[in-house]
Structure 1
């Protein structure tokens, strides 16, 4: 009788216990026996408040109504005054303000227009002359406007023709523009004149007049302030133009914050200096120039 060979099943390999298995063997079902937190979860508040119906705007105190007007009308980037007939403020690519809000009632118009002009910067763009644009805002809005930004859109950076080429001519025009704004808007607290210029252009040498050149390369922030201040003093002696207290110069957004702070600080110092006697200012400038020339000759 033939015997059939039987095959035995292969012995399974011995698995080395892992750290997780060892923990499970040691603690068993301890985790399952931990007490559960049965604290009820409070219901989530709705994203939008429940509409309870209309309310009477004028039943609210004036301070609260002003907050409502501010939430509707304020734009941090300012609003651009357009010469067209459209009943909106601002170019198409910005957050426009519908002027139909002012037409709700006479009282809403009287109250909201004060908030609108008190907090928004009115950006005035012009091509040739600033005066006609200012006339369009007189007399009613002009008495309320507190912040203005002048933006020339001409190819040369300013619409009105300067008395000379170079940075000093543009500087003189900006001062005259700011003085026009100050005269037109008696409540104006800030008039920002936008200077579309690059610092490397100011560094460029002017062969016809070395006083036009401003050197900023390699200078510290304090030295940049002093460079601007001395430059403003020199051209004050030539033109006698005094910037109004509300004036500030705003570089194009491509310039650095350090360059912007330098001209801001220099302009504030310069406005304090020219608030006194012109004769004293001229004498101080000539004395400073004499010392500078003597230092250069000795070097």
Structure 2
């Protein structure tokens, strides 16, 4: 009997000893997994949150990731049949249409604009500020910008215009490279009048090597980078003085590859030369009348001559009085 009882109790003793050794080795780990945890209620979330409680900087960043597109948007005065067929989900304003590469199945921007009036206003300003708008002007640019919607025009900061050496506008008198450059300066300043928040006016220039070098009189082949910048800077300064124009600070020129990639490679050179031309031509321009003192001299000279005239008038009146007295009392 004793042997049987010992044989029955020995396995339980071994199990308890094993459990004790494991408990000493792993600490309270075994105790934590001994009992099954209670089932908690599933987390009920509708997916909404207080978006307007976020800081405005964070909201603008969210608007940027939701509404920004690297390709420019095209502005049209009317919806073309092609646009109605392939781009049915236009953005905010009917004439403003997305460029190629837009995902037609993505409707997140529409949902964002329809959330609330405040979010619509903030998203609309962000949409106009972050994106670039391509304005095609087959006729006079002034007439097209005059009909541009006033609400987005106050918030747009980046536009894109297209230029070619040969154009069919009747106001363009010089179909050469220097004429195109002068027209870029003129129309970029005109755009600033209709877009008060404009920070960047990109002029996409479709030109060729023959037009730029032969008709423009500029040859930049087989020379160093600095010499190219100097030559193009002198070319810009010469024609700015000829046309009496100063390139604005928001003007930017991008070369478009046409017939050859050589002209496209001049884009960086032209950009550096344009920045240098902006500084040098602006410094050499005549000062304002208030700064130069010319207006003060004119006012001083006018007062000085006015005093002389008053003195002469007084002297002439005295002489006439004396003459009348002499005539009456001979």
Measured against the shorter chain, the TM-score band is: 0.5 to 0.7
CA RMSD of aligned residues (A): 2.9
Please tell me whether residue 163 in structure 1 is matched to residue 173 in structure 2. Answer: yes
Describe the SS at the equivalent of 1:77. Answer: coil
| 1:243-271 deviation digits (Å, cap 9, x = unpaired) | 11100111115646641111101111111
Describe the SS at the equivalent of 1:164. Answer: coil
Question: How many residues are treated as equivalent by the alignment?
Answer: 224
CA distance in 1 between counterparts of 2:44 and 2:267 reads: 47
Q: TM-score, normalised by structure 1?
A: 0.66
Q: 1:137 aligns with which of 148, 168, 180?
A: 148
CA distance in 2 between counterparts of 1:124 and 1:62 reads: 30
CA distance in 2 between counterparts of 1:51 and 1:160 reads: 67
1:218 CA drift (Å): 1.3
CA distance in 2 between counterparts of 1:268 and 1:103 reads: 42
Q: 1:119 aligns with which of 94, 111, 130?
A: 130
CA distance in 1 between counterparts of 2:232 and 2:101 reads: 34
Query: In the superposition, relative to structure 1, how do residues 279 and 188 fare at CA in structure 2: closer, same or farther (>3 Å)?
Result: closer
CA distance in 2 between counterparts of 1:78 and 1:217 reads: 33
1:140 CA drift (Å): 2.0
Describe the SS at the equivalent of 2:234. Answer: helix
Superposed, 1:11-26 pairs within 5 Å as none
In structure 1, the partner of 2:182 is 172
Please tell me whether residue 273 in structure 1 is matched to residue 280 in structure 2. Answer: yes
Q: Do the aligned partners of 1:221 and 1:258 also contact (CA within 8 Å) in 2?
A: no
In structure 1, the partner of 2:57 is 63
| 1:171-214 deviation digits (Å, cap 9, x = unpaired) | 1111111011122212111111111112343122x4xxxxx311
CA distance in 2 between counterparts of 1:70 and 1:117 reads: 11
Superposed, 1:66-85 pairs within 5 Å as 66-85=60-79
CA distance in 1 between counterparts of 2:170 and 2:98 reads: 23
Q: 2:204 aligns with which of 188, 194, 202?
A: 194
Q: Do the aligned partners of 2:131 and 2:158 also contact (CA within 8 Å) in 1?
A: yes
Query: In the superposition, relative to structure 1, how do residues 62 and 250 fare at CA in structure 2: closer, same or farther (>3 Å)?
Result: same
Q: Do the aligned partners of 1:157 and 1:196 also contact (CA within 8 Å) in 2?
A: no
Describe the SS at the equivalent of 1:223. Answer: helix
Describe the SS at the equivalent of 1:178. Answer: helix
In structure 1, the partner of 2:304 is none
Larger Rg: 2
In structure 1, the partner of 2:326 is none
1:132 CA drift (Å): 2.7
CA distance in 1 between counterparts of 2:59 and 2:211 reads: 49
CA distance in 2 between counterparts of 1:155 and 1:222 reads: 26
Please tell me whether residue 262 in structure 1 is matched to residue 255 in structure 2. Answer: no
Query: In the superposition, relative to structure 1, how do residues 263 and 51 fare at CA in structure 2: closer, same or farther (>3 Å)?
Result: farther
Describe the SS at the equivalent of 1:274. Answer: helix
Higher helix content, 1 or 2: 2
| 1:264-287 deviation digits (Å, cap 9, x = unpaired) | 01111111112134369xxxxxxx
In structure 2, the partner of 1:235 is 239
Structure 1 segments unaligned to the other structure (5+ residues): 1-49, 207-211, 281-299
CA distance in 1 between counterparts of 2:168 and 2:275 reads: 22
In structure 2, the partner of 1:183 is 193
Structure 2 segments unaligned to the other structure (5+ residues): 1-42, 85-89, 288-330
CA distance in 2 between counterparts of 1:182 and 1:82 reads: 19
| 1:118-165 deviation digits (Å, cap 9, x = unpaired) | 21112212211212332233532222111111125x793575642223
